[in-house]
Structure 1
Amino acid sequence: MKPLDRAWAAAFVVLWSSGFIGAELATRHAPALTVLNWRFLLLAPPALVWLLVRRRRWRARDIGAHVVIGLLAQAGYLYGVVAASGLGVDPGTTALIAALQPVVTAAAAFALLGEPVRAKRIGGMTIGFGGVALVVSADFSGGEAPLWAYALPLGAMLSLVAATVFERRTGPTSLGPIDALAVQFLTTAVVFASVSAPLGAFAPPASLGFWSAVAGVTVLAGIGGYGSYWAVVRRNGATTAATLLYLTPGTTMLWAWAMFGTAVPLLAWLGLAVTLAGVALSVRGGTTDRARSDPELARSAHGRGDQLRP
């Protein structure tokens, strides 16, 4: 990876992981659905203003594509994870199910996008999954959720995989990265407002702690996390972006250690080290293949610049 690619990757891992910490803080004051509703209602006005100010002639097909991506990557993924937690699915189990995403994404990208997968990348993903399993097992507490509730994190994982592959396949490039996020935010705001209102979860609590947590998760995870995710997808491919998600459980663990003083067992540190090794191997193993399968990236590698595709 080039230096700018590494910077995007690091930003993605840190900012995406911040969403779990923000959710922990916000759900101390309100139900998860209320948190998600107001996270996107805060994003909707600036997103709408941005699109009105831009007033570009975007292709209707591309706008529709990003509506679908918003439904899958934001509404579908976040609701699946949060609803599973509300039903008692252990966070460790959710993390393990989510950790299947790189393998599923790699298979889907190979079958549908023609992104090659080398043995080195497969080995790296396998090692990375083992590291995630160590991190999660160090703090696994079981759960009392009904059996069907485990379909929710599985559905969330598949929803993000589908969004990632769909974005790469359709290539809705008439919208820039910020334009695309704005469409996705507006779409998701409508979805969560429509769901939370009839369920009595629309009204927010009059709590400074709630609003500060929601504001933090909105900026860091909502804008930063998803923005950097799609930047990595566009620059380095769907499989690389998915593989980096292996680092989020360990990074979230470090966030919790720094902010809440949560103890980090030795096994978790070992798991984090194993995960780092697996991700490094997988990303390195996929760089050459990605350049071969993406002529634009190959040109960039020969000095044509580091800009995101418009």
Structure 2
Amino acid sequence: MPLPVLEAAMVLTWSSGSIGMRFSADYAPVYLVTLWRFVALSIGLFPFVAREIRHTPQPVLIRQTCIGALAMAGYLAGVAGGVQRGVPAGLAALIADLLPIGVVLISSCLFRQRNPAIVWAGLGLGLVGTLIVCRDALSLGGAPVWTYGLPVAGMLSLAAGTVWQQRSSHCGTLSPLSMLWLQSLVSCPIFFALQASQGCIAPILSAGFAASIAWSVIFATLGGCGLYWACLRRSSSARVTSVLFLSPPVTLVWAWAMFREPLSWLMALGTAISGAGILLVINRIGGEGG
């Protein structure tokens, strides 16, 4: 399948994650939904990945486990934890959408990877477009100051996992499905501990809770995360993450379709600016790895 088609599907499903969190908030705490999301994935995917996992060298499994702890558990614990403690959802989503800049910063500062000025210009345009799209959803809120660091830590955790995955791909890796299974498995005890520290870990027997789990499993994880890793196998981290600057406007379309939230021409303008920035990045680095 052509890479742009995969990237379009990735943006569509990745954007469903925020909608799933909003939908599930009416039925259960976010950590509880996330815990049972990963339990369902760990059980459901195992028959499909058991053979590959069994034949994968142990060093690869250990490395992918660590990457999964950063990219899945660390990311969601930070972003969802911030929202749960009072950080406005719009602001938390905006911080999470800074992932392209986080990836480039980590690559540049830790690994001395040089990026041309046009890449930074593209990332800057993407950020400006995202700020315009999210303008009406942003507020500082009244949460304790330290909680605003949680979404930042979550975004940087995913950025670190992304860079690690890209730089170690030549040492052996797993298929996207096996990566999702391993990431879900390592996330289970982490979210078990997080939810147990706040309340009951038993699932809630309701249609709303079941629908929340199904949404996050099918769209956010198998769709968004699975396609994210699939795209990274075929292109550079700078290109793939820059495409996620289109996530905010697509999220707003999701919100319009599901919750009848209004759309505006200002959102369209921001989307166009982000798109221009993405084109700069894509035209410069193309499909090269990095």
**1:268-310 CA distance string (max 9 Å, x none):** 22212211221122222221xx53x67xxxxxxxxxxxxxxxx
Residue of structure 2 in register with 1:304 after alignment? none
Question: 2:216 aligns to what SS in structure 1?
Answer: helix
TM-score normalised by the chain length of structure 1:
0.87
Q: Which amino acid aligns with 2:226?
A: G
Counterpart of 2:36 in structure 1 is 38
Aligned-partner SS, 1:179: helix
Query: Structure 1: which 5+ runs fail to align?
Result: 295-310
Do the aligned residues in 2 keep the contact of 1:113 with 1:169 (CA within 8 Å)?
A: no
The equivalent of 2:238 in structure 1 is: 239
Report deviation, 1:55. Answer: 5.6
Q: Give the conservation status (yes or no) of the 8 Å contact 1:29–1:209.
A: yes
1:44-65 CA-to-partner distances (Å, cap 9, x unmatched) read: 1123333334464211111011
What is the CA deviation profile of residues 52-101 of structure 1, one whole-angstrom value per residue up to 9, with x for unaligned ones? 34464211111011111111111110111111111111122223322332
Matches within 5 A, 1:115-126: 116-126=114-124
* Contact persistence 2:127–2:245 (CA under 8 A): yes
Within 2, Cα distance between the matches of 1:146 and 1:55? Answer: 43
Give the Cα–Cα distance (whole angstroms) in 2 for the partners of residues 207 and 106 of structure 1. Answer: 43
Q: Which of residues 63, 66, 69 is equivalent to 1:65?
A: 63
Q: 2:90 aligns with which of 89, 92, 96?
A: 92
Residue correspondences, number: 289
Contact 2:18–2:93 under 8 Å retained in 1: no
Q: Distance in 1 between matches of 2:79 and 2:125?
A: 24
Counterpart in 2 of 1:266?
Answer: 265
- 1:263 partner letter: P
Contact 2:74–2:154, Cα closer than 8 Å, also in 1: yes
Q: Percent identity?
A: 34
Counterpart in the other structure of 1:106: 104
Judge conservation of contact 1:117–1:286 (CA < 8 Å) in 2. no
2:49 corresponds in structure 1 to 51
Aligned residue in 2 for 1:284: 283
Shifted more, 267-276 versus 121-130: the winner is 267-276
Which residue does 1:221 correspond to in 2? 220
Please give the secondary structure, in 2, of the residue aligned with 1:131: helix
RMSD, aligned α-carbons: 1.9
- Tell me, yes or no, if the aligned pair for 1:18 and 1:221 is still in contact at 8 Å: yes
Unpaired segments ≥5 residues, structure 2 = none
How far apart are 1:251 and its partner, in Å? 0.9
Q: Could you tell me the TM-score, scaled by structure 2's length?
A: 0.92
The correspondence of residues 99-248 of structure 1 with structure 2, limited to 5 A, is 99-110=97-108, 116-171=114-169, 172-248=171-247
- Residue 253 of structure 1 and its aligned partner are, at CA, apart by 0.6
1:104 is displaced (CA, Å) by 2.5
Match of 2:20 among 19, 22, 26: 22
